[in-house]
Structure 1
Amino acid sequence: MRDFASCLSQSSVQVAHSSSSGGQNMVQCAYLARLFGKPCRVTVTWSKVAMGQALAISIDDYSNRCLCKTEVKPWLFSKRKGSKVMEVDGGNLEIIWDLSSAKFTAGPEPLEGFYVALVYDRETVLVLGDMRKEVDHRVSSDDLHSSAVMIARKEHIYAKKVYSAKARFLDIGQLHQIAIECDTAGVRDPSLEIRIGKKRVLQVKRLAWKFRGNQTIYVDGLPVEVLWDVHDWLYGSSNGCAVFLFQSGQSMEKFLLRTCSQNEKEAQAHRFGFTLILHAWKI
């Protein structure tokens, strides 16, 4: 499987063998935002490993040049609330976070009771969480508005037979429930089925011969390219990992180039697609 950045920067993505470790629990989200008036990609990674939990943030410009990257480990260092300042192109980028009341399920990404804000010279680049009103006093309420849009997500999911995830394939679209079902235990001729909501949108029979492939489905009239690789489910270890990719709209590279050439009004009127990468582990 190509790395996450490669998947975002290319419109044609092929799913190949994944070497990810099932011991790592990770959610990675990419946002299209603006920094000093220009488009950029902000990648936020929530991870949970043997030593604890961590939050990593990196920012790349439209030419994929890394502007900055940093890591916050609030659980390891008891910094559930704090801030960090970095210099970026002559200005100060401040990361402000409060995870002291964050609520989690089984994954590393908080669901509620938190905020993470990126502020560049008092201009908000990105705000995450449901506690925006509680953001540090260094950010005025007028500056809390951010036009950032999530355009990609990668996560690890675990199940025996039915794997679930959620995705919004258009930035203003409906949040859809995705269900991937594949029973390989003792099945002579396994098949793969994907449902969006209650509707079956893809079924792959003779999976032993079609363990890798791609197909276009339609969600709310929008074409979504689906790629799958279930080789390790069929021929790997008992707790093997399969990889699924859902991609709508243009690639990240086209997003950034198009947004860079547009004025602010045109950019806000554009509707963005979405890329979802799922590492599905059998338990």
Structure 2
Amino acid sequence: MPMPLSIPEPPPTENASKDKVTNKDASQNFATYVYQAKVAESFRSVSVTWCKNTTEHFVSMSVEKPFDENKLTCKIDLESGQSWGKKGLKSFEIEGARVDIFWDFRHAKFSMNPQPCSGYYVALVYKKEVLLLLGDLENDAYTRTKSKPSLEEATLLSKKENVHGKKLFCTRAMLEEGKPEHDVVIETSLSGPDDPEMWISIDGMLASRIMNLNWKFRGNEIVMVNNLPVQIFWDVHDWLFNDIGSGPALFIFKPGFLEHTNDPNSREWTERSEGSSKYDLIEENPSTGSFFHFLYAWRTD
């Protein structure tokens, strides 16, 4: 039976009101991917967090331990000035079995995002099988680990990230299973003589225009991407009614329809969220069996 669904808290972020960021320089500084992988004969949650801010730049991988709040975690410093510090291996034990995490960032290339765009790998290995492989250097990873791909591939359950900006917020979201991520741009007009508005574009095409945000600061719509439905949920209450930097707007992108309703035009999301400061409808929970992208958009001016 599916567990009750609730909205997750936003990941940590720097104080946006103190660290002003221009539209040109706005970038992600925190992204967490949650996978489900079969580790030590059981399906477990594997979280991968990429973080870059003024004090540190790292990636961490955590593996869930059943009946234990503490996770087994490997943290890798991506700012190491020595090439030997960017290649390594960490091993730990789960239920008497050895689990290895291999990584190589010696040739990694970065853009504005906390994660590299190429030239790296991170591999989670158990009993000579690669359970989860990140990066583009797949051949190097299999050669070094002397392992083969797992027969049961890890499943991506959710992505959470922070973005900063004034009027423009950009991200990349998986809107089709097994396909490349799509470019998503959220543009806003929150001040001026006209009522506040918001536009959401996918791959350069306008997908949704939300007018009268003072009345529609929470809601949802279904848009079509390559003839497939994508649900978009939003809560921009903090943008409109609280001080800048006090809290983010929340956007959720979900391919397909929510499993609990057969009505694609259901207003359950809106009705259940009215009068509430936090949604209680969605959580990145393996029992839901579907993918969610959570975007926390922080205004900086």
Displacement of 1:87 in angstroms is 0.8
Q: Partners of 2:164 and 2:242 in 1: how far apart?
A: 16
Displacement of 1:252 in angstroms is 3.4
Does 1:242 pair with 2:249?
Answer: yes
Q: Partners of 1:147 and 1:164 in 2: how far apart?
A: 29
- In structure 2, the residue matched to 1:51 is 55
Deviation by residue 1:216-235 (Cα, 9 ceiling, x = unmatched): 33333433332212122223
- In structure 2, the residue matched to 1:161 is 167
- Residues 70 and 146 (structure 1), Cα distance of their counterparts in 2 relative to 1, 3 Å cut: same
Deviation by residue 1:184-236 (Cα, 9 ceiling, x = unmatched): 24354111121222443322211012212223333334333322121222233
Deviation by residue 1:145-185 (Cα, 9 ceiling, x = unmatched): 87223231111223332222222223224532212111224
- Residues 187 and 104 (structure 1), Cα distance of their counterparts in 2 relative to 1, 3 Å cut: farther
Residues matched between the structures, number: 259
Q: Partners of 1:239 and 1:225 in 2: how far apart?
A: 27
Pairwise CA RMSD of aligned residues?
A: 3.2
**1:164 is matched by which residue type in structure 2?**
C
Task: Look up the SS of the partner of 2:148 in the other structure.
Answer: helix
Does 1:253 pair with 2:281?
Answer: no
Q: Partners of 1:244 and 1:168 in 2: how far apart?
A: 14
Gaps in structure 1 of 5+ consecutive residues: 1-8, 257-272
Does 1:114 pair with 2:120?
Answer: yes
Deviation by residue 1:43-101 (Cα, 9 ceiling, x = unmatched): 10011233211211112379897662232224258521111111111111111111121
Given that 1:53 and 1:76 are in contact with CA atoms closer than 8 Å, whether structure 2 keeps it comes out as no
Given that 1:124 and 1:145 are in contact with CA atoms closer than 8 Å, whether structure 2 keeps it comes out as no
1:129 pairs, out of 119, 127, 135, with 135
Q: Partners of 1:36 and 1:15 in 2: how far apart?
A: 27
Per the normalisation by structure 2, the TM-score is: 0.73
- Residues 56 and 212 (structure 1), Cα distance of their counterparts in 2 relative to 1, 3 Å cut: same
- In structure 2, the residue matched to 1:94 is 100
Per the normalisation by structure 1, the TM-score is: 0.77
- In structure 1, the residue matched to 2:233 is 227
Given that 1:58 and 1:66 are in contact with CA atoms closer than 8 Å, whether structure 2 keeps it comes out as no
**1:26 is matched by which residue type in structure 2?**
F
Given that 2:13 and 2:162 are in contact with CA atoms closer than 8 Å, whether structure 1 keeps it comes out as no
What percent of counterpart residues are identical? Answer: 30
**1:194 is matched by which residue type in structure 2?**
I
Deviation by residue 1:90-141 (Cα, 9 ceiling, x = unmatched): 1111111111211111221111111111111222111110112222755226
**1:126 is matched by which residue type in structure 2?**
L
- In structure 2, the residue matched to 1:41 is 45
Displacement of 1:143 in angstroms is 4.2
- In structure 1, the residue matched to 2:220 is 214
- Residues 63 and 245 (structure 1), Cα distance of their counterparts in 2 relative to 1, 3 Å cut: farther
Task: Look up the SS of the partner of 1:103 in the other structure.
Answer: coil
Given that 1:87 and 1:93 are in contact with CA atoms closer than 8 Å, whether structure 2 keeps it comes out as yes
- In structure 2, the residue matched to 1:262 is none
Q: Partners of 2:11 and 2:153 in 1: how far apart?
A: 34
Given that 1:149 and 1:171 are in contact with CA atoms closer than 8 Å, whether structure 2 keeps it comes out as no
Task: Look up the SS of the partner of 1:135 in the other structure.
Answer: helix
- Residues 25 and 280 (structure 1), Cα distance of their counterparts in 2 relative to 1, 3 Å cut: same
Given that 1:52 and 1:76 are in contact with CA atoms closer than 8 Å, whether structure 2 keeps it comes out as no
Q: Partners of 1:230 and 1:18 in 2: how far apart?
A: 17
**1:58 is matched by which residue type in structure 2?**
S
Q: Partners of 1:238 and 1:226 in 2: how far apart?
A: 23
2:73 pairs, out of 69, 73, 90, with 69
Moved more, 273-282 or 30-39: 30-39
